[in-house]
């Protein structure tokens, strides 16, 4: 898992690396909302999980004291690139786009993307194409987010307040709601989902904008 000059933990899962790690402290960024890889033990408040155990073992073997910081998932790569942390360890999928910006460790886990819906709607959603025109929810900055943006007809919005959530529905007819796991708390997330699902598109002059977007998509 160690590389010659650095650490690297960002579908196969791996770890992201900034560059040479010279200090004795190994600064690790993670988003602790992805059990069993990383999560907060509610009894001890310790950041734990399979990947956290792995990165601690790696650090111990190399003589580093591992210090883990919990942050928004979409902020981890910028933190690695800025040098404010040395490693990103948060269940990162290996993508060609990310390879252009960061280094990876060897992959240590292979998985895929799955769709979750209600039993009543299970028969209607069997492929990505079946999502066209549907409302979906994803985590910002993930491969799921990137996959959702490629679905024809998806108009995704990133919201962390009720005003933006309401008016992206009223004016943009958004049909995919994206929220940052560390930006939006559980209570606010439920409120935003409720607003998103119960706000209707106003149409009228706003329909012209949607028509233009649709025309560009259909080229």
pLDDT tens for each residue of 4-25: 233 344 444 555 555 545 558 8
Beta strands in the chain (DSSP E): 13-17, 25-30, 33-34, 38-40, 47-48, 65-70, 87-93, 103-104, 136-139, 156-158, 176-179
CB atoms within 10 A of CB 119: 6
Enumerate the active-site residues. Answer: 171
Alpha carbon distance 131, 24 (integer Å) = 48
Alpha carbon distance 175, 157 (integer Å) = 8
Fold of 13-104: D-Maltodextrin-Binding Protein; domain 2 (3.40.190)
> Which CATH superfamily groups domain 119-217?
Sugar-phosphate isomerase, RpiB/LacA/LacB (3.40.1400.10)
Q: Model confidence over 145-181: pLDDT tens digits?
A: 667 767 777 787 777 788 888 988 888 888 878 776 6
Higher pLDDT, residue 216 or 104? 104
Alpha carbon distance 91, 33 (integer Å) = 10
Q: Where are the domains of the chain?
A: 13-104, 119-217
CB atoms within 10 A of CB 23: 9
pLDDT band at 57 (very low <50, low <70, confident <90, very high): very high
Maximum separation of any 2 CA atoms in the chain, in Å: 64
Nearest one of 128, 118, 115, 2 to 61, comparing CA atoms: 2
Domains 13-104 and 119-217 share a fold: no
- pTM for the whole structure: 0.54
């Amino acid at each position: 898992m160690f590389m010659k000059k650095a650490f690297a933990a960002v579908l196969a899962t791996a770890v992201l690396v900034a560059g040479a790690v010279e200090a004795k402290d190994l600064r690790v960024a993670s988003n602790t909302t992805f059990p069993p890889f990383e999560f907060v033990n509610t009894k001890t408040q310790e950041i734990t999980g399979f990947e956290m155990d792995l990165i601690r073992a790696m650090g111990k073997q190399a003589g580093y004291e591992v210090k883990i910081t919990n942050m928004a998932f979409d902020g981890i790569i910028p933190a690695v690139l800025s040098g404010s942390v040395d490693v990103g360890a948060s269940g990162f999928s290996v993508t060609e786009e990310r390879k252009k910006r960061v280094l990876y460790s060897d992959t240590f886990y292979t998985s895929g993307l799955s769709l979750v819906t209600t039993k009543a709607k299970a028969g209607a959603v069997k492929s990505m194409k079946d999502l066209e025109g549907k409302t979906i929810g994803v985590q910002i900055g993930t491969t799921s987010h990137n996959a959702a943006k490629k679905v024809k007809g998806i108009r995704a919005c990133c919201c962390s307040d009720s005003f933006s959530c309401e008016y992206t529905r009223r004016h943009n007819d958004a049909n995919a709601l994206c929220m940052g796991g560390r930006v939006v708390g559980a209570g606010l997330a439920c409120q935003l989902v409720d607003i998103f699902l119960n706000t209707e598109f106003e149409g009228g002059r706003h329909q012209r904008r949607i028509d233009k977007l649709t025309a560009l998509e259909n080229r």
